[in-house]
Amino acid sequence: MAYFDAASTEPLHPQAREALIAALDVGWADPARLYGPARRARMLLEQARTEVAEALGARPDEVSFTSSGTQAVHLGVLGALHGRRRVGRRLVTSAVEHSSVLHAAGVHERDGGSVETVGVGLTGAVDPAAFRAAVLAEGTALACLQSANHEVGTLQPVVEAAAACAEAGVPLLVDAAQTAGRMPLPGGWSVLTASAHKWGGPAGVGVLAVRKGTRWRSPLPEDDRERRRVPGFENVPAIVASAAALRAMVADSARESARLAALVDRIRSEVPRLVPDVEVIGDPVSRAPHIITFSCLYVEGEALLTELDKAGFAVSSGSSCTASTLRPSHVLEAMGVLTHGNVRVSLPQGASATDVDRFLTVLPDAVRKIREDAGVRS
């Protein structure tokens, strides 16, 4: 099986596996206690925090560990809004944010707040001028913008958004799930969230970074853990493994990202040549290095994923009317692009050119079979 779904989760990095096994033996104790094993656990936890903070461009005391990237987003959004209630109740987001941001926005609306959603163009990027206008509106408490889109890979204008937020005195939350460890992160954020399993760490570890001076108040009952930001016992072995994976990915990111970007460029150029009636989606240049998305006319995404699975490829889809959602991808809808027959290929570290070539050989026959079964000839 060729695994091409790294945007969902990156396979566990070998260095993370080694660190996890070692930390299970020495990092199991409660890091909040004072006896020997607890002090060792605390030392491991704080060393991991320092390493993660350095990789993300933050101070160690700004970084807290959560139980997932989703929890980090929820706490980041709702905590910043809670901390700035006296300023206003208005939240600004883009139309293509991850569902975790949109769900937090829904909670904010049900609590009496308002949400302004800034639309995107055909590439999936927000217009910096439109985002700035939304942020400058009176009563804006928080703005959210992802570093790169999780479905199509398009990079967002975070630098421009950060400048607008600084001008307005509004904190900016950046969801960096798809770029942390893979690309240098833009500055100017007030709150940053990320997820360890996206960079080859174990599942169950998220990162919430809150800049010093940013008003933030936990929306949950207070706990003494993680600087009173995140409740619950820290999973020290998993956090140590996450730091090891991030350290390894950052060390190799320049070389590996360039290699993966070249493979993605090959897919972008070859798929329209090999498959009729296909639309390649997302910005061709300003994009995450590992993600390529395309949609095939006259094809149901779920059927295509099944055929590719039979052929030995694990890919995903934001296509309409899948069994799990029964509705189109909100990202593809917001972009105004074809939603049927959608395939997202996201290459993990170490993905081979041989597997990419085999994918390009298998894909045309898989699409042709589905179309012929539906009575469509291409």
Question: What's the start-to-end Cα distance of the chain, in Å?
Answer: 28
One DSSP character per residue, 229-242 reads: TS-S---HHHHHHH
One DSSP character per residue, 56-85 reads: HT--GGGEEEES-HHHHHHHHHHHHHHHTT
One DSSP character per residue, 272-318 reads: HHHSSSEEEES-SSSB-TTEEEEEETT--HHHHHHHHHHTTEE-B--
Q: Which of 136, 198, 196 is nearest to 161 (CA)?
A: 136
Q: Is the dihedral of CA 302, 304, 306, 309 positive or negative?
A: negative
DSSP secondary structure code for residue 186 in this structure: P
- Using DSSP, state whether 50 is helix, strand or coil: helix
Selecting among 144, 165, 296, 321, the annotated active-site residue is: 321
Phi, psi torsion values for 245, nearest 5 degrees? -65, -40
Both tokens assigned to 357: 């070539």
Helices 69-83/99-110 angle, 10° precision: 40
Known catalytic membership, residue 321: yes
Confirm if 112 and 90 have CB atoms less than 8 A apart.
Answer: no
Catalytic center residues: 321
